[in-house]
Amino acid sequence: MSFESLGLSSPVLQAVSEKGYTTPTPIQEKAIPIVLMGRDVLGCAQTGTGKTASFVLPMIDILAQGRAKARMPRSLILEPTRELAAQVAENFDIYGKYNKLNMALLIGGVSFEDQERALERGVDVLIATPGRLLDHFERGKVLLNDVKVLVIDEADRMLDMGFIPDVERIVSLLPPLRQTLFFSATMPPEIKRLADRFLSNPREVTVAPPASAAKNIVQGLAVVAEEDKREALRRLIREQDVKNAIVFCNRKRDVAILQGSLKKHGFNAGALHGDMSQPARMETLDKFKQGEIQILVASDVAARGLDINDMSHVFNFDVPFSPEDYVHRIGRTGRAGKTGHSFTLASPDEGALVEAIEKLIGTTIPRVDVPGMDATAFEASDGRRRGRGRARGAKAGSGERARSPRREPRERKPRSEQPAEPPVELQAAAPVAHESRPKRPHRERRPEREHRESQPPQREPSHREPRADRTNRGHERRTERRHERDDGAPIGLGDHVPAFLARSAR
């Protein structure tokens, strides 16, 4: 099928062809005609499938007629993270280059004033994270009663990040007569219930992205003691032909430590996590995209859905707690038909987490040896090594490996590099299925996981209509808290601030 047969206008087709796309992806093929018909869409698809263009392209045509009034956007796209929002905005720039649509990006970490100026001019497309949008609404800077098209993207991630109450609040402010496009990588019951409430007689569009995305990804997993992980990572990076890579850590704290360690060992590494300022995040991301940074050490929240062309490798410095995160992480590579590689470093006590991932993806991740390092095995629940997780060539009962795997990470002196290292042997990955959600294995340690950054803060007692007499001080205070909600854990009072604190000091 060609793009021409989907019913898109000539200016959009021209932009698509200049971008170099000749064939629509399955989600584009299915969703674009439905969106152009004005129908609601319930899309089960994840990033990497061409999902963004599946709503951006028809929206450009839908919005081509008509003009926006000041502060009254004509369409709204909700994204869970700032980076994803920025990526969607880039898509509008690329595909909308022959249309004169005004766009505004409302994300945390950048000045309110610029965003307000953009809203004042009137916007056809408003792309926002939920917290920042509500801040503008409460300041009376944006009105949502003229929104004709709503996109809720990455709904399952919104749920993980605790944004659903904000999303519900936003939807309650929109006119009931609108077109709604709702996308989620997975459809757990909570998400399905939301979709039922927000959508009206939707057409369901499902593509099997995890399976097709993972076909191009050669996966490998090495079991190494926690204290050997940094060395194992360095060896893998040196041994592999790494053009550019993301290294995922479960904890924000480890992101900075690992980046420092990699730099100390001569690697060109940057860091991306939710505690960084937005300009710093954007700058790092830009450098990574431009190839000025080769290795990006990142947390899940910051790196979710990043669309980096031609990324050769993904390394999981830790096994992710959620099996779905594994699929999302490795999906950063092997995009647009290219072959990618992913390596996971698991410590001996992470066997249960790996099992949960393997259950989800429906295949065993091939075990690999780290060149020049002794292999180890997963512990059984009684603390003994299990045969199944042991990599080939493992030295059974190696005294060194019998140490507690959970010591505080510390940098070890590099072992002498062995010149004749055996190559890492890998098998092609089997398709990743995404149907079941296995129970998350119980873990007692590592309390400061990255998702904490964005866990649901307590709700404010009520969201009020904008009030002219509300002072900027109160707004700024709430804004800071919202800001935390987008990307950081609430500090001190959390999200709930007593009303007397929000009142102006006379």
Site residues (vs ligand AMP, CB under 6 A):
21, 23-25, 28, 47-53, 307, 309, 335-336
User: Judged by CB, which is closer to ligand AMP: 62, or 88?
Assistant: 88
E strand residue ranges, 311-381: 313-316, 340-346
User: Judged by CB, which is closer to ligand AMP: 332, or 478?
Assistant: 332
CA separation for the pair 462, 478 (Å, rounded): 13
Closest CA to 179 of 47, 69, 80, 36: 36
Where does residue 320 rank: exposed (0-12), middle (13-18), buried (19+ CB within 10 A)? buried
Residue at 306: amino acid letter: L
Least Å distance between CB 42 and ligand AMP? 17
CA separation for the pair 88, 84 (Å, rounded): 6
Return the structure tokens found at 336: 């647009």
User: Judged by CB, which is closer to ligand AMP: 328, or 482?
Assistant: 328
User: Judged by CB, which is closer to ligand AMP: 153, or 231?
Assistant: 153
Closest CA to 146 of 164, 125, 163: 125
User: Judged by CB, which is closer to ligand AMP: 41, or 346?
Assistant: 41
Least Å distance between CB 86 and ligand AMP? 12
Least Å distance between CB 436 and ligand AMP? 23
Closest CA to 135 of 100, 170, 104: 170
Least Å distance between CB 201 and ligand AMP? 26
Residue at 118: amino acid letter: A
Phi-psi region of 142 (alpha: psi -120 to 50; beta: other; left: phi over 0): beta
User: Judged by CB, which is closer to ligand AMP: 332, or 390?
Assistant: 332
CA separation for the pair 501, 490 (Å, rounded): 16
Least Å distance between CB 212 and ligand AMP? 11
Least Å distance between CB 314 and ligand AMP? 15
Closest CA to 426 of 377, 365, 376, 374: 365
User: Judged by CB, which is closer to ligand AMP: 206, or 504?
Assistant: 206
Place of tokens 């959620």: 322
Residue at 208: amino acid letter: A
Least Å distance between CB 32 and ligand AMP? 10
SS (H, E, C) 341-354: EEEEEECHHHHHHH
User: Judged by CB, which is closer to ligand AMP: 25, or 250?
Assistant: 25
Least Å distance between CB 55 and ligand AMP? 9
Return the structure tokens found at 277: 């300022």
Closest CA to 47 of 184, 224, 147: 184
